[in-house]
Copies of this chain bind each other. A is one copy, B any other.
Amino acid sequence: MSSVHTFPLHLRFGDEDSYGHVNNVRYLQFLEDARVLLMSEAQPQGSFLDLVDPEHYALVGRQEIEYRAPLNFSLTPAAVDLWVTAVGGSSFELGYVVRNQVGHDGGTTCAVASTTMVLVHRGTGRPVRLSEVQRELLGSWAGPAIPFRRARGR
């Protein structure tokens, strides 16, 4: 069993902008929907969302994305590969590959990306520690770091 999940990406006509390609902004929405699917996935111990205390929630702290090839609207789904690249005390990092073709390996890599999620308390907004069961579930999804090509601030 692989720790990498692949979710179909159902494009919409309106994802393209006037340049005739999927707009750079929309990619982050694709990441969001893949993330929601992973966080909601049924598990023996409950989905990740089930494991989050009602007084806590996970917010997006940081995102990075590298665009590698244009993506175009198509009636056949594209794909988002998703896994966990790091687990910290109160945060974790997700890695993504956006491909223009669904299937476990096919197509062209259109973007690679990462998102840092932080678990916070609803009342205070302060970070709270990930529980052991949360860490275990995230650990089961662990995979390699995203191979960003460009160094920050070149």
Contacts and interface: CB of A to CB of B under 8 A. Distances in A.
Contact of A18 (B20, B85, B86, B145): B20
A148 B29 CA distance: 22
Secondary structure class of chain A's binding surface, majority of residues? mixed
A63 B24 CA distance: 9
Contacts of A145: 153
A125 B32 CA distance: 28
A59 interface: yes
A62 B93 CA distance: 18
Q: Which of A60, A91, A93 has the most CB of B within 10 A?
A: A60
A16 B21 CA distance: 12
B24 A25 contact: no
Interface stretch (A6-14, A100-108, A126-134): A6-14
A93 to B, nearest CB: 7
Contacts of A20: 18
A32 B24 contact: yes
Question: Considering the complex of A and B, which 10 residue pairs feature the smallest CB-CB distances, nearest first?
Answer: A10-B10, A16-B18, A25-B28, A24-B60, A64-B64, A25-B29, A62-B66, A18-B20, A13-B36, A63-B65
